[in-house]
Structure formats: structure tokens, C-alpha cells
Amino acid sequence: DQYDGKPSPQLDPGLARAGLDLFRELPASATEHRLLLTDLHAGNILGAAREPWLAIDPKPYVGDPTYDPLQHMYNCLDRMRADPRALIARMAGLSGVDEKRLALWAFARFVVESSWSPVADIATALAP
């Protein structure tokens, strides 16, 4: 899942605008706010004695809980490319967040990331 040095395909300007708009709008439409890790991925989850799992290396931020699974999804680019909707459904189920809202967040995040990372294809696949 590492950057291979190949240029990223261009993102359609209309999709880019839609994704950026969503990235600004989604936080305001959240029905709840929680303390988020914002760097939740497999490398930051450890087995623990007092609980089954321990999340480490938080980048704390208060916001929409649906945002938190995105970093893990971003670190699973092969799975995102293979079947983004299936990974979104799985992550929504595991994290207890709304699948449709997670799909919108994923689209918006991959649009933002496409400005410096080769993920425009994933953003395009996730377009609502």
C-alpha cells in the first residue's frame, strides 16, 4: 500500500469540488461529537491485559465519530481499490457508525488525499 512513485490520475474537477464541499460540510452535520484518535490503524492497536485492545499514538480531536475509521481505511489501499464499498460496510459494522455517512466521509477524505497521494481512482470509485 505504499506510494509507488507513479503519477496519480487527475481527479475530475467536479468531483474534486464535491469532495471538498463534503469535507467542509460533514463536521457541521454530525449528530454527536466525541474525542477521536484520528490516527486509528492496525499499527496503532495493541493487545492489552485490562481490555482486549489498546489504541496508542492518538492525535486527539473532538469531532464526528464517523471520521475515526478513515485512517485505517486509508492504510488499506489495496482493499479500498479492490472493493471500497465492501470495506466501508465492514468498517461501519465494526465501528458502529452509519455506513452511508462513512461512505461520504471516505469519498471526501480520498478527494483531499488525492492532491498529494495517488488515490484519485479510489475517490472516483466512491463518488456519490
Residues designated as active site: 39
User: Do residues 71 and 89 lie in contact, with contact meaning Cβ atoms separated by under 8 Å?
Assistant: no
> For residue 71, which of 116, 97, 106, 121 has the smallest C-alpha distance?
106
| Whole-angstrom distance, CA of residue 80 vs CA of residue 126 | 10
Enclosing H/E stretch for 36: strand 34-36
Q: In angstroms, rounded to a whole number, what is the distance separating the alpha carbons of residues 102 and 64?
A: 10
- Distances in Å between the Cα of 70 and the Cα atoms of 32, 65, 92, 102, 109 are 17, 10, 10, 8, 8
